[in-house]
């Protein structure tokens, strides 16, 4: 598991959701994410997004799950879609900012490692 979790700022059971089916998937995903079951959480959040592609909450939670699984490019895309849908959301903005900070750090570290001479 990653050191810098955007610790699910939006993974709150009272988060507003779209349709009932999408909301059910989102709530189930939140429950399993809290238990660290990221494969199942990702599956549920993907399903919630499929059922309601306009759910910024589902996209944000999917981004968190993707990040936890190391799918950073996909996570960035999901965060950006969530922010486009709900640009005023403090929770999504905080998660995205934490993600970008950690992703920038990972990228700098990888670049430094790639440019250093091997022994």
Distance CA 41, CA 113 (A): 32
Q: What is the CATH number of the domain that holds 47?
A: 1.25.40.10
Of the candidates 80, 72, 60, 67, the residue with the CA atom closest to the CA atom of residue 16: 60
Q: Look at residue 11 and tell me whether its pLDDT is greater than 80.
A: no
Q: Is residue 50 part of a domain?
A: yes
**Domain assignment of residue 82, given as a range:** 20-115
Distance CA(3)–CA(37), nearest Å, equals: 16
In total, how many domains does the chain have? 1
- 55-113 pLDDT, tens per residue? 999 999 999 999 999 999 999 999 999 999 999 999 999 999 999 999 999 988 888 88
Q: What is the pLDDT of residue 28?
A: 96
Please answer whether residues 33 and 11 qualify as being in contact, where contact means their C-beta atoms are separated by less than 8 angstroms. Answer: yes
Mean pLDDT confidence for 1-20: 47
**Contact predicate 85/53, CB 8 Å:** no
Kindly state whether residue 4 falls inside one of the protein's structural domains: no
Q: Are 99 and 67 in contact (CB under 8 A)?
A: yes
**How large a percentage of the chain has pLDDT more than 90?**
71
Asked if residue 64 is part of any domain, the answer here is yes
């Amino acid at each position: 598991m990653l050191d810098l979790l955007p610790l699910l700022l939006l993974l709150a059971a009272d988060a507003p959701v779209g349709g009932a089916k999408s909301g059910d998937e989102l709530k189930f995903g939140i429950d399993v994410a809290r238990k660290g079951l990221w494969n199942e959480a990702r599956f549920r959040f993907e399903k919630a997004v499929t059922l309601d592609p306009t759910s910024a909450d589902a996209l944000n939670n999917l981004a968190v799950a993707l990040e936890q699984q190391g799918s950073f490019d996909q996570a960035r895309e999901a965060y950006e879609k969530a922010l486009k849908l709900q640009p005023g959301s403090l929770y999504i903005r905080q998660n995205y900012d934490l993600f970008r900070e950690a992703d920038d750090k990972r990228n700098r570290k990888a670049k430094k490692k790639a440019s250093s001479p091997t022994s």
